[in-house]
C-alpha cells in the first residue's frame, strides 16, 4: 500500500472538516482530507441548503394565497413540484464548487476519495493508502436515525437524505417527528400543495421554550398542518396507496408518503475506533472541552463530537481545534454562545439559556424582559405581528435569548454576539437601530430591562424635579 505522512489527516468533508482543512493548509500545515461520500457533507447535499431552498419556494407559493389583507387578491398557485426540485438542485450546484475536491486540491489539500478506517492508534487506511499523521480529526458528521418501529422494514419511507430527490408531489405526507426538521418540512410541503400530518411522540418543538414553540405551532395549525402530539408510534404497514402509521392509543393515519424525522445518529461505524484506542458512545466520540479524544493524537469536531448538531457548531469546533493543533495553544469549546434557529414561518431562534433553564440556574437573580412583535412598526407594516422576544438577564448581562417571529434567525445574531462578548444590556439598549426595522425588537427588549429602574423609581423623579427647579 502507498504510505502518506502528513501533519493533519481530517476524516470527513462536511462543514467542520472543510473549515479545518482550508484554514490549516493556508497557514502552512500539510493536510490530507479523507471523504468517501459527497463533498460538503449533509448540510450541502441533504440538509441546510436544500431544505432552505425548498422553504424559499414554499414561501413564494404561500405569498400568492395570503395577499388579501394587503389589498392583493389571493390566487391558487400552480406548483410544478419537479421544477421546485430543479430550483433546489440549482442552489446546491451553485454552492458546491466552494466545497469541491478541485477547490481543496487547489488550496494544497490532498483529497483521498474513499472511506477511512483506523488500523492502529497512528494509522488510517483509505483507498489503498496508509496515512500516518501527527494529528487526526474525526469530522464524519451524522445521518438520519430510523427508529426500530415494528413494520419499518416493510414500508417505503423517506429521510432528509432522500426527500429532496422526490420529484412527484406527495398527496399526503406523514412525518414522524415534530422537531425542527419535521416542522420545517411539514410547512414547506403543505404550502406546496401537499396534505401533511405530523406525528410526535412527546411535544412538537419540545427542545425550545414552550411559549415560543406555541407561536410557531399555532401558525402551522392555522395554515392546515395537522400536528398530533403525545402520540408514540406503535407500528407501520404498507397499504395499496402508501403507508399506514399506527399510534399507541389506537388511532392510525394513512398517507401516500412517510418521512422519518426523529433525530440523527453519529456516523462512526466505519472508522474502527477500537483499533485507534478512541473511546466513544452512541452519541459520539468522547472528547474533553479541547475536543481531544482518549487518544491524544485524535480530535473530533461537529456532530462526531457528540454535542449540538449544527453546521455552525462544526465550524466553531474547527476553529477551536486549529488553535490547538497548529499553534499548540490551550483552546476549549463552550456552548453558551451558540445560537440555533428553526426556519418555519414564523421562525424560532435561541441562544444561551431558555427561561426555564435560567430560572433553575440563577433563581431570584434572574430578570426576564420581553417585547412583542406587534409593538414593532415594521412588523405592523409587513403584517408580521406574531411573536415575541424574551431575554434572560443576570446582573445586567444577558444569559439567554429566545425569539419567535419573523426573521428570528437573523435577529438572534445580536444576542449571540452579546453573550459571546460578555456585553451588558446597556450596550444593546444604547444601539441605534434604523427605523423602521425588526432589529428594533431587540433594542426595545433591552430598553425594557431599564424601564422600571428609570420610570418607576421615585428617586429618579425627585432628582429630575430638583434639576428642573434649580437648573439655570
Measured CA to CA, the distance from residue 208 to residue 204 in angstroms comes to 9
Within this chain, do residues 360 and 300 fall inside the same structural domain, yes or no? no
In this predicted structure, what is the pLDDT of residue 468? 78
For 416-435, what is each residue's pLDDT tens digit?
999 999 999 999 999 999 99
Nearest Cα neighbor of 175 from 186, 163, 191, 189 is: 186
181 is in an annotated binding site: yes
439 is in an annotated binding site: no
Higher-pLDDT residue of 455, 463: 463
- The mean pLDDT value for 160-180 works out to 97
Per-residue pLDDT tens digits for 343-364:
999 999 999 999 999 999 999 9
| Per-residue confidence band for 93, with pLDDT thresholds at 50, 70 and 90 | very high
* 235 and 349 both lie in a single domain: no
SS3 118: strand
What is the residue-wise DSSP string for 363-430? GGGEEEEEEEGGG-HHHHHHT---EEEEEEEETTEEEEEEEEETTHHHHHHHHHHHHHHT--HHHHHT
Helix (H) or strand (E) holding 247: strand 243-247
Same structural domain, 250 and 392: no
Strand (E) or helix (H) holding 254: strand 252-255
* 358-414 pLDDT tens trace: 999 999 999 999 999 999 999 999 999 999 999 999 999 999 999 999 999 999 999
Asked if residue 50 belongs to a domain, the reply is no
52 known member of a binding site? yes
- Here the cell at position 229 is 402530539
CATH of the domain at 350: 3.30.390.30
pLDDT of residue 471: 77
466 pLDDT higher than 90: no
pLDDT at 451: 77
Q: 135 with 325: CB under 8 angstroms?
A: yes
State the pLDDT at residue 472: 75
Instruction: For residues 62-69, give the mean pLDDT.
Output: 96
Residue 247 to residue 234: CA distance in whole angstroms: 5
Q: What is the pLDDT of residue 465?
A: 74
Could you tell me if 129 and 9 lie in one domain?
yes
CATH number of the domain residue 162 falls in: 3.50.50.60
Q: Are residues 247 and 198 in the same domain?
A: yes
Q: Residue 461: is its pLDDT beyond 80?
A: no
- Distance of alpha carbon 369 from alpha carbon 99, whole angstroms: 42
For residue 467, name the pLDDT band (cuts at 50, 70, 90). Answer: confident
- Expressed as residue numbers, the domain containing 273 is 2-39+100-144+265-327
Are residue 181 and residue 226 in the same domain, yes or no? yes
Domain boundary among 327, 348, 364: 327
Q: Is residue 218 part of a domain?
A: yes
> Is 344 one of the annotated binding-site residues?
no
Residue 60 domain flag: no
Is 200 labeled as ligand-binding? Answer: yes
What pLDDT score does 455 carry?
A: 65
Q: How confident is the model at residue 117 (pLDDT cuts 50, 70, 90)?
A: very high
Q: What is the pLDDT of residue 470?
A: 78
Percent residues over pLDDT 90 in the chain: 95
Among 327, 358, 380, which residue terminates a domain?
Answer: 327
pLDDT score, position 469: 77
Same domain, 19 and 113: yes
CA 40 distance to own-chain centroid: 16
Residue 126 and residue 270 in one domain: yes
In a domain, 461, yes or no: no
Statement: the pTM of the whole predicted model exceeds 0.85: yes
User: What's the mean pLDDT when you consider all of the chain?
Assistant: 96
- Give the pLDDT confidence score for residue 292 in this predicted structure: 98
pLDDT per residue as tens digits for the range 295-334: 999 999 999 999 999 999 999 999 999 999 999 999 999 9
In this structure, the answer to whether residues 233 and 118 fall within a common structural domain is no
Which domain-ending residue is among 264, 289, 311?
A: 264
Answer whether residue 252 shows pLDDT above 70. Answer: yes
Q: Which residues pair with 371 in a beta bridge?
A: 389
Could you tell me the CA-to-CA distances from 304 to 44, 77, 102, 138, 160 in Å, in that order? 17, 42, 25, 7, 18
Tell whether residue 242 is among the known ligand binding residues.
Answer: no
Q: Is 177 marked as a binding-site residue? A: yes
Tell whether residue 180 is among the known ligand binding residues. Answer: yes
Residue partners of 78: CB distance under 8 A and separation at least 6: none
User: Average pLDDT, stretch 233-247?
Assistant: 97
pLDDT at residue number 454: 64
* 212 annotated as a binding-site residue: no
Is 263 annotated in some ligand binding site?
yes
- Based on the domain organization, do 190 and 235 belong to the same domain? yes
Residue 185 placed within a domain: yes
Q: How do residues 192-238 score in pLDDT, each as one tens digit?
A: 999 999 999 999 999 999 999 999 999 999 999 999 999 999 999 99
Domain count within the chain: 3
Classify 22 as helix, strand or coil.
Answer: helix
| 445 and 367 co-located in one domain | yes
Confidence check: pLDDT of 84 > 70 = yes
Domain-embedded: residue 460: no
What is the pLDDT, as a whole number, of residue 459?
A: 77
335 appears as a binding residue in the annotation: no
Same domain, 308 and 380: no
- Please indicate, yes or no, if residue 158 is contained in any of the structural domains: yes
* Structural domain includes residue 78: no
210: annotated binding-site residue? no
Amino acid at each position: 500500500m502507498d504510505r502518506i505522512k502528513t501533519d493533519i489527516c481530517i476524516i470527513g468533508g462536511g462543514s467542520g472538516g472543510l473549515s479545518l482543512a482550508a484554514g490549516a493548509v493556508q497557514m502552512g500545515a500539510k493536510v490530507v482530507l479523507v471523504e468517501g461520500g459527497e463533498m460538503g457533507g449533509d448540510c450541502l447535499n441533504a440538509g441546510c441548503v436544500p431544505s432552505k431552498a425548498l422553504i424559499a419556494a414554499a414561501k413564494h407559493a404561500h405569498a400568492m394565497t395570503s395577499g388579501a389583507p394587503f389589498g392583493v387578491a389571493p390566487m391558487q398557485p400552480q406548483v410544478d413540484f419537479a421544477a421546485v426540485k430543479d430550483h433546489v438542485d440549482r442552489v446546491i450546484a451553485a454552492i458546491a464548487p466552494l466545497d469541491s475536491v478541485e477547490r481543496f486540491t487547489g488550496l494544497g489539500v490532498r483529497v483521498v476519495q474513499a472511506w477511512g478506517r483506523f488500523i492502529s492508534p497512528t494509522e488510517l487506511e483509505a483507498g489503498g493508502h496508509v496515512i500516518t499523521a501527527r494529528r487526526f480529526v474525526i469530522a464524519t458528521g451524522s445521518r438520519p436515525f430510523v427508529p426500530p418501529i415494528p413494520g419499518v422494514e416493510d414500508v417505503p419511507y423517506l429521510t432528509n437524505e432522500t426527500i429532496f430527490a422526490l420529484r412527484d408531489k406527495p398527496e399526503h405526507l406523514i412525518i414522524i417527528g415534530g422537531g425542527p426538521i419535521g416542522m420545517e418540512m411539514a410547512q414547506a410541503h403543505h404550502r406546496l400543495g401537499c396534505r401533511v400530518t405530523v406525528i410526535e411522540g412527546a411535544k412538537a418543538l419540545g427542545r425550545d421554550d414552550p411559549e415560543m414553540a406555541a407561536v410557531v405551532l399555532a401558525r402551522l395549525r392555522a395554515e392546515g398542518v395537522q400536528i398530533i402530539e403525545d402520540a408514540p408510534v406503535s407500528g407501520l404497514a404498507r397499504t395499496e396507496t402508501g403507508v399506514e402509521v399506527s399510534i399507541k392509543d389506537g388511532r392510525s393515519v394513512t398517507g401516500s408518503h412517510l418521512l422519518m424525522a426523529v433525530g440523527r445518529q453519529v456516523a462512526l461505524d466505519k472508522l474502527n475506533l477500537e483499533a485507534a484506542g478512541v473511546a466513544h458512545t452512541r452519541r459520539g466520540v468522547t472528547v474533553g472541552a479541547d475536543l481531544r479524544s482518549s487518544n491524544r493524537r485524535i480530535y473530533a469536531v461537529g456532530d462526531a463530537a457528540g454535542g449540538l448538531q449544527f453546521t455552525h457548531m462544526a465550524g466553531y469546533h474547527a476553529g477551536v481545534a486549529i488553535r490547538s493543533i497548529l499553534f499548540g495553544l490551550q483552546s476549549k469549546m463552550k456552548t453558551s454562545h451558540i445560537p440555533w434557529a428553526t426556519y418555519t414561518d414564523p421562525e424560532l431562534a435561541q441562544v444561551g439559556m431558555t427561561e426555564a433553564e435560567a430560572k433553575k440556574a440563577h433563581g431570584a437573580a434572574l430578570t426576564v424582559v420581553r417585547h412583542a412583535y406587534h409593538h414593532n412598526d415594521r412588523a405592523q407594516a409587513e403584517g408580521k405581528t406574531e411573536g415575541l422576544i424574551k431575554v434572560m438577564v443576570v446582573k445586567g448581562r444577558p444569559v439567554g435569548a429566545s425569539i419567535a417571529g419573523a426573521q428570528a434567525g437573523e435577529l438572534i445574531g445580536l444576542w449571540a454576539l452579546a453573550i459571546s462578548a460578555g456585553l451588558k444590556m446597556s450596550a444593546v439598549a444604547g444601539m441605534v437601530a434604523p427605523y423602521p426595522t425588526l432589529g428594533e425588537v431587540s433594542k426595545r427588549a433591552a430598553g425594557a430591562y431599564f424601564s422600571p429602574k428609570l420610570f418607576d423609581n421615585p428617586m429618579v423623579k425627585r432628582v429630575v424635579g430638583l434639576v428642573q427647579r434649580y437648573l439655570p
